[in-house]
Amino acid sequence: MRHFDLSPLYRSTIGFDRIFSLLDQATGPEATTYPPYNIERTDDNAYRITVAVAGFAEPELSIEVKENTLTISGEKQAEAENAKREVLHQGIAARAFVRRFQLADHVQVTGASLENGLLHVDLVREVPEAKKPRVIPIAANSQAKVLEANAA
């Protein structure tokens, strides 16, 4: 059993609540493995999440982004013809699911596609110009001396 008590960190830090909440969620016992998924980097600032959703049609899937949380959910709709069939063995899971992913700041969902039972969600990190690093020019020594002379 792995459980870390993060309460001392809550008392001595300000503004890091989200990070500690993510750590608590990651170590929680309610981690589910259905449906399986991959996360891959497709470029320097581009990512793709691929979720195996075999048996789900496009209208039965939902993708939502809210407050840096990407939620992918699926719910099978009951069909009238299924009542007529008798299943002798059911190995293909068609149960409802909800899968959540925490997105970093400035990560946006750019698109989604359903192909061969795989749901692909494309993401890109777009850092605003104000948040990007910038180069500060260094003044020459002659200009620095002029500033000292004017100040005196």
How much is the average pLDDT of 96-119? 91
pLDDT at res. 64: 95
pLDDT at res. 136: 87
Cβ pair 63, 51 in contact under 8 A? no
pTM metric for this prediction: 0.66
Distance CA 27, CA 20 (A): 11
Identify the CATH class of 33-151: mainly beta
Q: Is residue 1 very low, low, confident or very high in pLDDT (cuts 50, 70, 90)? A: very low
Domain segments of the chain: what residues?
Answer: 1-31, 33-151
pLDDT > 70 fraction of the chain, expressed in percent and rounded: 68
Q: What is the pLDDT of residues 55-95, one digit of tens each?
A: 899 999 999 999 889 999 999 877 655 667 788 887 877 78
Q: Tell me the average pLDDT of the chain.
A: 79
Any residues with CB less than 8 A from the CB of 94 and at least 6 apart, and which?
55, 56, 76
| DSSP notation for 109-135 | EEEEEEETTEEEEEEEE---GGGS--P
